[in-house]
Chains A and B, each alone.
Chain A
Amino acid sequence: MAIEQDEIEKIAELARIRIDADRIGDVTRRITDILHMVDQLQAADTSGVEPMANPLDATQPLRADEVTESNRREAFQAIAPAVENGLYLVPKVIE
């Protein structure tokens, strides 16, 4: 399946990855190659085959809804790029 440059721009936006304008052509070409390779899947007969998400077909275990972790906010915030008063700082979201 061919992919157009504007589609790559849309995907990059969904993935929140900026791509330089002078690189977008190269990125598009390489991703087209990869999608072309994976297109071999389309020829496989998978009618009636249940999709497999986990190799052991395991399901998520449940546990009691109890607090098991201690509060380690300081340790976690010590490695953050920007914090203030126990909050993570980001640029202003609402003008």
Chain B
Amino acid sequence: MHRHSVAQLVQGLRDKQFSSTELTRHFLDRIAALDGRYNSYISVPETAAMDAAAAADRRLAAGDAAVLTGIPIAHKDIFCTDGLRTSCGSRMLDNFVPPYDATVIQRFKRDGAITLGKTNMDEFAMGSSNESSFYGHARNPWDPERVPGGSSGGSAAAVAARLAPAATGTDTGGSIRQPAAFCGITGLKPTYGRISRLGMIAFASSLDQAGPMARTAQDCALLLNTMAGHDPLDSTSAAVATEDYTAALDNSLEGLRIGLPREYFGEGLDAATGALVDSALKELTALGARLVEVSLPHSHLTVPAYYVIAPAEASTTLSRFDGVRYGHRCADPVDLHDLYTRTREEGFGDEVKRRILVGTYALSAGYYDAYYKKAQQVRRLIKQDFLDCFEQVDVIAGPTTPGPAFKLGEKSDDPIAMYLEDIYTLAVNLAGLPGMSVPAGFVQGRPVGFQLIGRHFDESRLLNIAHRYQQATDWHLQEPPEVAEGSA
């Protein structure tokens, strides 16, 4: 059962090949037996999952099932789950049991999907390797000595190791797409505002966006159908109509114009990874697409602009963690100042503290214009570059990452080297565009992905292109050696 896609599981439940109870039990057993190797989960609510599976089976029998009824889904431990610890990968929230569900979780529950567990992540979603998690890093199922990527590394590892049929992630600067690429799965970051942020613990509020992570584009579309939609309780949620994201999957790519930004194919891109991206593009031309060279002239300013804006917003959003209302509190505070400063010293890890400090500096009197305002101006220039490209082309394509997964520990002591891992993904968040990573092959046994970037709210087209590509290729069907051999 664990080798099936979500679409196949949906059919299997209807054909009575297995029940949701059997399916959920199977995944819980796999997690118990195998996740010691991958550390992809932080919490696994076994009893609640089995209860939900029994309820789903009743719903399926009664004939009032939604598409995802009975399908087990893993959720990044950033989504608040009523009565289930939500840590955000941090000591600060190690004891936090939310009194409500995030809108994303509510929607999966409404449709009868099973919460299989909460997945490992970089602390407060700040990282590209999963190494900043308070719970220890997840491992890449393709090579346990390498990172799964981050920050949604646990979700990507769980899907790749077949410890979940699909998962949710969040993406502030690449945190769905980069781990999807490193673990050989398919991941979609929708347009900013497409999915509610209510109950999704904030890192940078103008950049954060939730999205699906699965084996196939079709599965991502099925999850997006449940996740997307306006939420009046999230003031940044877009009041834009949703659509059936599976409806256009099979559309022809004849005449599609794909823009290739020359800045994404130059210095810094690993040659073998670039060759695989080129092969994927060649495949798309065989399916009828036309390649057009375009330019994103402000690309070189993406990393600097992001590393002002994201930390500035983080310094604000993380000011709520004060040891008063929930979460960690230091022992025996002598006064209120000691309570705040020691709680935050103990509760936050190094990378989170670093970003709060950089953000506080960028927002402080005397530096605001030079850093924050300047970065916001550059952000508009970066967005305008994309809008100019979309005058000439329908989508943009390029690499997701500069290369395949790096070794655990290789960059964990060098923040700037880590930041540069996201060089091709950050601009999409700054511009609020939808972006997707699709498996494109392997470099010495390690997966790499290619990235598709679309116009605002054009998720259907990205899913269509990825689906047609996956009908013509089988990179997304490859299994990590331990799974393929049956030892995992």
The residues of B that contact A75 with a CB separation of less than 8 Å are 99
The residues of B that contact A38 with a CB separation of less than 8 Å are 304-305, 307-308, 362, 371, 375
The residues of B that contact A61 with a CB separation of less than 8 Å are 235, 239
Q: Is B370 an interface residue (CB 8 A)?
A: yes
**Contact between A91 and B333, CB atoms less than 8 A apart:** yes
Q: Is B361 an interface residue (CB 8 A)?
A: yes
Q: Is A21 an interface residue (CB 8 A)?
A: no
Which bucket holds chain A's interface residue count? Answer: 35 or more
Q: Is B456 an interface residue (CB 8 A)?
A: yes
**Contact between A80 and B345, CB atoms less than 8 A apart:** no
The residues of B that contact A1 with a CB separation of less than 8 Å are 370
Interface 0/1 of A69-95, CB less than 8 Å to B: 000100110111110000010111100
How far is B362's CA from A3's CA once the two chains are assembled, in angstroms? 12
How far is B353's CA from A19's CA once the two chains are assembled, in angstroms? 10
Interface 0/1 of A21-55, CB less than 8 Å to B: 00000010011011101111110101001111111
Least distance between A24 CB and chain B CB atoms (Å): 11
8 Å CB interface, B358-374 against A = 358, 360-362, 364, 370-371, 373-374
**Contact between B206 and A34, CB atoms less than 8 A apart:** no
**Contact between A41 and B305, CB atoms less than 8 A apart:** yes
The residues of A that contact B339 with a CB separation of less than 8 Å are 90-91
**Contact between A34 and B307, CB atoms less than 8 A apart:** yes
Q: Is B409 an interface residue (CB 8 A)?
A: no
Q: Is B315 an interface residue (CB 8 A)?
A: yes
Q: Is B264 an interface residue (CB 8 A)?
A: no
The residues of B that contact A39 with a CB separation of less than 8 Å are 304
The residues of B that contact A55 with a CB separation of less than 8 Å are 192, 206-207, 379, 383, 429-433
Q: Is B341 an interface residue (CB 8 A)?
A: yes
| Known A-B contacts A37-B303, A46-B381; A18 and B344 likewise in contact (beta carbons under 8 Å) | yes
List the B residue with the shortest CB-CB distance to A77.
B325
How far is B325's CA from A54's CA once the two chains are assembled, in angstroms? 29
Least distance between A34 CB and chain B CB atoms (Å): 6
**Contact between A88 and B324, CB atoms less than 8 A apart:** yes
**Contact between B416 and A15, CB atoms less than 8 A apart:** no
The residues of B that contact A46 with a CB separation of less than 8 Å are 374, 377-378, 381
**Contact between B325 and A88, CB atoms less than 8 A apart:** yes
**Contact between A41 and B361, CB atoms less than 8 A apart:** no
Q: Is B193 an interface residue (CB 8 A)?
A: yes
Q: Is B342 an interface residue (CB 8 A)?
A: yes
**Contact between A42 and B376, CB atoms less than 8 A apart:** no
**Contact between A16 and B301, CB atoms less than 8 A apart:** no
Q: Is A14 an interface residue (CB 8 A)?
A: yes
The residues of B that contact A51 with a CB separation of less than 8 Å are 373, 376-377, 379-380
From B340, B378, B430, give the contact of A41 (CB < 8 A). B378
**Contact between B315 and A54, CB atoms less than 8 A apart:** no
Q: Is A17 an interface residue (CB 8 A)?
A: yes
Least distance between A72 CB and chain B CB atoms (Å): 7
8 Å CB interface, B172-224 against A = 192-193, 206-207
Interface 0/1 of B409-439, CB less than 8 Å to A: 0000001100100000000011111000000
**Contact between A41 and B380, CB atoms less than 8 A apart:** no
**Contact between A41 and B324, CB atoms less than 8 A apart:** no
From A30, A33, A49, give the contact of B377 (CB < 8 A). A49
Q: Is B135 an interface residue (CB 8 A)?
A: no
The residues of A that contact B433 with a CB separation of less than 8 Å are 55
The residues of A that contact B380 with a CB separation of less than 8 Å are 49-52
The residues of A that contact B429 with a CB separation of less than 8 Å are 55
**Contact between A16 and B371, CB atoms less than 8 A apart:** no
**Contact between A16 and B192, CB atoms less than 8 A apart:** no
**Contact between A79 and B361, CB atoms less than 8 A apart:** no
Q: Is B64 an interface residue (CB 8 A)?
A: no
| Known A-B contacts A27-B354, A34-B354; A53 and B336 likewise in contact (beta carbons under 8 Å) | no
Question: Ordered nearest first, which 7 A-B pairs have the shortest CB separation?
Answer: A55-B432, A51-B376, A46-B377, A81-B329, A52-B380, A18-B341, A18-B345
Residue positions of A touching B, CB distance < 8 A: 1, 3, 7-8, 11-20, 27, 30-31, 33-35, 37-42, 44, 46, 49-56, 58, 60-61, 63, 72, 75-76, 78-82, 88, 90-93
| 10 extra interface residue pairs, beta carbon distance < 8 Å, beyond A16-B340, A41-B301, A61-B239 | A7-B361, A17-B356, A38-B362, A44-B381, A49-B378, A51-B380, A53-B376, A54-B432, A58-B236, A90-B324
Residue positions of B touching A, CB distance < 8 A: 96-99, 192-193, 206-207, 232, 235-236, 238-239, 298, 300-301, 303-305, 307-308, 315, 319, 322-327, 329, 333-342, 344-345, 348, 353-354, 356-358, 360-362, 364, 370-371, 373-381, 383, 415-416, 419, 429-433, 456
